[in-house]
Structure formats: C-alpha cells, structure tokens
Copies of this chain bind each other. A is one copy, B any other.
C-alpha cells in the first residue's frame, strides 16, 4: 500500500522512494533526507558515530555530498563533532532532555496561543474531532508507529502562522524529542491521559481562550516530560 508518512519536516524528509517529484534534485539534499531517515529509524542512535565513508558507500555517492549533508545537520544541531574527530548523533543527558522540553514548552505554548487566534472554526472543529475518535492511528505498520502522538502537536504548530517557530520545532526540536520517545509507551495509562489533555487543549482553543490554551499546552508538555525516563546515560 505504501502510505507515505507525513514527515515532520516538510522539505527534506525521506528521499528513499518516489523518484517522480524530483524533490531531492541534488545528492547532498538527498543525503540529508536519508540520514534523517536513518536517525528516525534508530539505525543511527544518539551517540552513534557518523562515518562519511560508510554513508558514501551506502548511498552510492562520493564523500562530498555526504560532508555537506553532515554540515547541514550539524547546523541544525542534530549532529555534533570537533575537527578531525568522528561526528556523532547528538546524545542528550538527563538535564539536556529537560532543557529540550523546557524549550519545547515555551515554543509550543506560544504556537498554541497563536494558533488559537489563527485557526478557522472548521479547522478547530476538525482538531477536536480528531481528538475524540480514538484507536484510529498507530496501526500503520511503519518504522515510526509511535508517531501518532505527535500528530496533534504538529497540526497545531503548522497552523500557528509563525514560520520561524514552526521551523525550529519541526526541523530541530521534534527530531530530538523523537529520539527519546520510545520509552514513553512503557508507562501504562499515560496514553489515555495524554488524549484527554489533547482534547482539553483543543476545546480551549475552540472557545478562543488563548491564555488557557497556552497554559494547558505548557503543562501538558511538562507532564509528558516527566514520563520520559532516561535509561542509559551519565
């Protein structure tokens, strides 16, 4: 069936299939997308080393485009490296994950506030509805099955009307958050509570209460961080 997964990042996502659109016209661009795919699929885990030669061979291109791609990802702070040292996928310690969620909290809080004034009535109705009908997501058999929780947040962010905020969230923050998400499922009952919180936020937005919407979103994100336990790090 091959459902193309809606990628958080609009431009540079999975390049693997679909050669029709000529979306990734240059190899470097394609490399960016494919490396991100590797990161999302977990093949390149946090702290994992990014070997230019390996990637070049695997993607069947020379090292030039690879280096450009790595530099780009480095600019987005998804990859870290120092001169002549192996590049690594960023690895976040406990405090750094907390920092990330603080960042997300204030950005998404603002996004939610803005979206509350920006979205149309019908869009909001749709948002509420999507919170009410349950169990309909997560059954797509893909690499990222646990993406569905994001869709709510992404819907809002995309409609906040502020491209800068949207950009930082989708191209930097979410990619990182995604890496530390998989343990979340372990906590039972969380999923249902999250859904309730989503519904409350949507309702606040529908009644055009910016203040409440932002506040709810912020505490929702705070709560969601407390669940993420970090297994392996110093």
- What residues of chain B lie closer than 8 Å to A67, measured between beta carbons? 64, 68
Q: How many copies does the complex hold?
A: 2
Give A77-106 as 1s and 0s: 1 = Cβ < 8 Å from B's Cβ atoms. Answer: 100000110000000000010011011011
Task: Judge whether A163 and B99 touch: CB under 8 Å.
Answer: yes
Known: A107-B106, A114-B102. A83 touches B164 (CB 8 A): no
* Cβ-defined contact, A167 with B110, below 8 A: no
Contact B168 A168 (CB under 8 A): yes
Contact with B along A127-164 (1 / 0, CB 8 A): 00000000000000000000000000000000000111
**Contact present for A71 and B28 (CB under 8 Å):** yes
**Could you list some 14 contacts between A and B, CB below 8 A?**
A25-B83, A26-B83, A26-B84, A28-B71, A71-B71, A71-B72, A72-B75, A73-B75, A77-B167, A102-B114, A103-B110, A103-B168, A168-B168, A168-B172
